[in-house]
Structure 1
Amino acid sequence: MFARTTHRTVHFDQPFWMPDLGETVPAGDYEVDEDEELIEGISWLAYRRVATFIKLPATAENKYRMRLIAIDPEELERLMQVDRNAAAIFPSLSP
């Protein structure tokens, strides 16, 4: 089975709540990794996403440890949409 990982950076203008962690994460840039595996048995190359992770930086609150947290891709998109909507409604709060 062939697999690949794609990397991207997402930006949040506002702090956001991560329900699975039960904590608020500060605004900023975050690296997101998406693991995909090749779908075999078809006549063209296609990949299926099997995992999505967001990297949270080391902070004093988490005892200076970087964390790689699994996140549902739909939840990540929802969090990003909430952040975009807040920036559109309250532009003075955005940097």
Structure 2
Amino acid sequence: MPQDPMVQLTLFTQAVEALGGQRGTARILGIEESALRRRLAGEEALDSTILRDIARALIDHADRCRKIERKLSPAFSENLTAEQAERFGGG
């Protein structure tokens, strides 16, 4: 069953928010902020190119977030400072 256009627009809007808002997303996608606003308002159709580009941007963003999380998470003892390790019984 094809995607409902309103559902797709809602998901697109959520993607823009996840990527840091309109200005940042427009920069990431290499389009004018006004063009992005027209798409968000439903005044301009979401074509397969913009959907592909935002999907790639979301993957890149998620990959960067995962890498940072793995360096910050206290679940990995190597991420703790000596003081933190002592406090949490790891040192």
- The TM tier, using the shorter chain, reads 0.3 to 0.5
Higher helix fraction (1 or 2): 2
Higher relative contact order (CA 8 A, sep 6+): 1
Query: Which structure: greater strand fraction?
Result: 1
Q: Which has the larger radius of gyration?
A: 2
